[in-house]
Structure 1
Amino acid sequence: MLQLVRIVLVLVPVQGLAFDFGQFTRCVPIPRHMGICQDVGYSEMRLPNYLGQSSLETQVVPHSERWRPLLETGCHPQARVFLCSLLAPICLDTFIQPCRSLCAAVRDGCAPVLACQGQAWPDVLDCDRFPGHDDMCGCPVPLKDECLPRATCQDCPATEEFPSLKSTMDAICLNDFAVKAKLARRRFASTETEFEVEGRLEFVRQGPLLLYDTRTMLEQWLLINPHCAQALVRPGRAQLYLVTGRVRPDGTLALALLFPWHKKDVNLVAASRKWKHHQC
């Protein structure tokens, strides 16, 4: 995974939003290989963009890809819309910048992810630079709140090798969910590392989690917390875990205790079977 530290420093000019509203602009199709800005509701973009970039192939497209790891964390549902409104602004008769409220919402969701990597929200994206609702600006319709838990930055959860049956049952009781998941780490030829959840998930205690959303949520947790992920999974070798955790009052996901699931660990197998009839 590209370090999120590098994303902001490379993508955004240090002097500020480098766009001159008095300069000549042109409209061009959004390139198909500019993946993060496909299906955003329009097909033509204005150049130079609001970051002062005028070359698609040497500036805009390469820099847009550097945001992909941050977007894959799911830090905010409108993060892609906000970034594309700067990188690939819609081509209309008037200039439409993102609204200050949209910037603030994305900042509040994504700044903690950057903070987890040791970076602050960049000054160049200071939301006070963008227009308020009283001015002409772009702010998409709020998404329907489905109250789904979301991953966030946290201290690394503890792991316990070969736990007793009692400690396993206690961990399941004390937390909101317990899921059997195989965590994998893939190292590419470059310096990038990718974390993922392999195979089928098995719930021991489902709690507030949804089957279709849990895999993505766990993968986002691995992306947001790479220092924890690196400690949990060795390169090229998947590790099966019983993952326990809870959902905080603010809707964020916190992993609590992980049990490496070894083939000879009879207590984990017994706990998963006894849970269906167990009373905490």
Structure 2
Amino acid sequence: MKNLLPKLWIFIAPAVFLPSLSSAEYDYPYTWKPEGTWMQNYGKSPQCMDIPKDLKLCFNVGYRQMLLPNLLEHETIAEVKQQAVSWVPLVHKACHPGTQVFLCSLFAPVCLERPIYPCRWLCEAVRDSCTPIMNAFGFPWPEMLNCDKFPLGDVCLSMNTTSSDDTDKTGVSSVCPPCDNEMNTDAILEHLCASEFAIKTKIKEVKKDNLDRKVILQKKRKAVKVGNLNKQDLKKLVLHLKNGADCPCQQLENLANNYLIMGRSVGQQYILTAIHKWDKSSKEFKKALKKLKSHKCQVFETVFK
């Protein structure tokens, strides 16, 4: 995947931009002096700490240290990891070049002398570009990321929107989000962890169902990850590709292949969250299969509320 991560900027109203500090400038701890009301709800004094490698959402965001407690009121790094892991697939979908910057400004804020929130326009840009992707998985934009909470001016985190990538301005792909998957071991395992169940099967038929596509499976189905599915659920399982009536999905055009199909329940429907060709000639896919049984997903609460 191309690196869509832009350079971080601190925005100071009305129109002055200061480039972010280089990672080398985070080699020492900052003396934190809480200001305003931000610290009133915390029992701990804020501290700077290295961003751990297993915090995949933010480990490569462009700076080395983060503030804890963060701006989402997570007081421990374990809590940050639990909540952040479910956002990794969204970043991989590249729905907006500022998605990782925006999320990490809250989950793993930069260590400065006062908390720097993301600019409201950055929140709105990410929300408007990524909401269609989230809707495809049955997730609304969460209230905890309500853009009205973030500053219009003063001091806020912004970004340089210029990019040399040959995507459109938002970075949105025209491919149906669950179908736009790299044959990459880590990506497959991340999709698995973000899904409630996974099965190996062939597709019998694909039908348009208003704005969705209904994916009807062959009778022979092998459970890879059961989740809350019982035998009857697995037998009757029909998946919906949300808002996928017209977007391209190469996997659904070749019904002869076996697929690793992942999904989760939303209301009365089962939503297709990812589909990978069952391709044992792929080294990445074979490596993912070997790790499936032993791979332990981080336990996290649903953050898309």
* TM-score when normalising by structure 1: 0.50
* TM-score when normalising by structure 2: 0.46
Return the structure number with greater helix share: 1
